[in-house]
Amino acid sequence: MNKTIKLLGCTLTAFLLAACNGKQNGYTIQGTISDIVGLENGDSVFLARQEGPSQLVNIDSTTVKEGTFTFKGNQEKPELFSIIYQNEGKDHAYATVILENGNINVSLTPNLSLARGTRNNDVFSAYIENSRKNFVEIEKTIEQLEDKSISDEQRESLTQKIEGLEKNFITSSINAMNGNMDTFSGITILKNIYYYLKYEELETLVNQIPESMDEDPFVQSIKEQVGALKKTAEGKQFVDLALQDPKGKDIKLSDYCGKGKVVLIDFWASWCGPCRREMPNVVEAYKKYKNKGFEIVGISLDNNGEAWEKAIEDLHITWPQMSDLKGWESEAAKEYAINSIPHTILVDKDGTILARGLSSEELMKRLSTLLD
Residue 5 has pLDDT above 70, yes or no: no
Q: What's the average model confidence in pLDDT over 342-352? A: 96
Do the Cβ atoms of 333 and 301 come closer than 8 Å?
yes
Given a cut of 60, whether residue 44 has pLDDT beyond it is: yes
pLDDT reading at 332 higher than 90: yes
The residue ranking higher by pLDDT, 83 or 91, is: 83
What's the pLDDT score for residue 51? 81
Q: Is the pLDDT of residue 85 over 70?
A: yes
- pTM to 2 decimals? 0.75
pLDDT given at position 13: 42
273 band by pLDDT with thresholds 50, 70 and 90: very high
CA-to-CA distance for 149 and 147, rounded, in angstroms?
A: 5
> In sequence order, which residues have a C-beta less than 8 Å from that of residue 286 and are 6 or more positions away?
294, 296, 318, 319
- The pLDDT tens digits for 119-161 are 999 999 999 999 999 899 999 999 999 998 999 899 999 999 9
The answer to whether residue 4 scores a pLDDT higher than 70 is no
**In 10 A of CB 125, how many CB atoms?**
26
Percent with pLDDT over 90 in the chain: 78
